[in-house]
Copies of this chain bind each other. A is one copy, B any other.
């Protein structure tokens, strides 16, 4: 069973990530944070900077599996291309860090909220409180993008091994 999983929620400005590791009982949080890309940077710069930052996090944590948030609804073509560009950059970083593409899954925000809180339309605060409880940590002051990524990782663990 893989011991380390990264959840990544790619965004055009803020990308949340969370790395969880298998413990004797359940899973623990190994790394958690937000990559912030300045809006003043040209968009192409943000894409490759995201690649570089994700690559650093992967080198430090060495996950075997990854889960990405995937949004399908409410996007126009221009926004969807931008989101896709971020996803492509993240996939290349995972590939270069030897995460097999077959070990990557995509989860929608509603799927993560449903699993974590029991409500597919839960608020960010509700998600944060639920993951705090799930991992037995005080995460209510962590950025919502980071706790969202943690919710993704927990949801993926459940879908893989639950």
Hey, which bits of chain A sit against chain B, CB under 8 A? 42, 44-45, 47-48, 51, 70, 72-73, 75-78, 80-93, 95, 101-102, 104
Q: How far is the CB of A121 from chain B (nearest CB, A)?
A: 20
Interface of A is mostly: helix
Can you report 8 A-B residue pairs in the complex whose CB atoms are below 8 A from each other? A72-B77, A76-B77, A78-B80, A81-B81, A83-B84, A84-B84, A85-B91, A87-B88
Answer whether A88 and B47 are a contact pair too, CB < 8 Å, given A72-B78, A77-B80, A81-B83.
Answer: yes
Residues of B within 8 Å of A72, CB to CB, are 77-78, 81
Among A45, A51, A80, A104, find the residue whose CB has the most chain B CB atoms closer than 10 A. A80
A44 to B95, CA, bound (A): 10
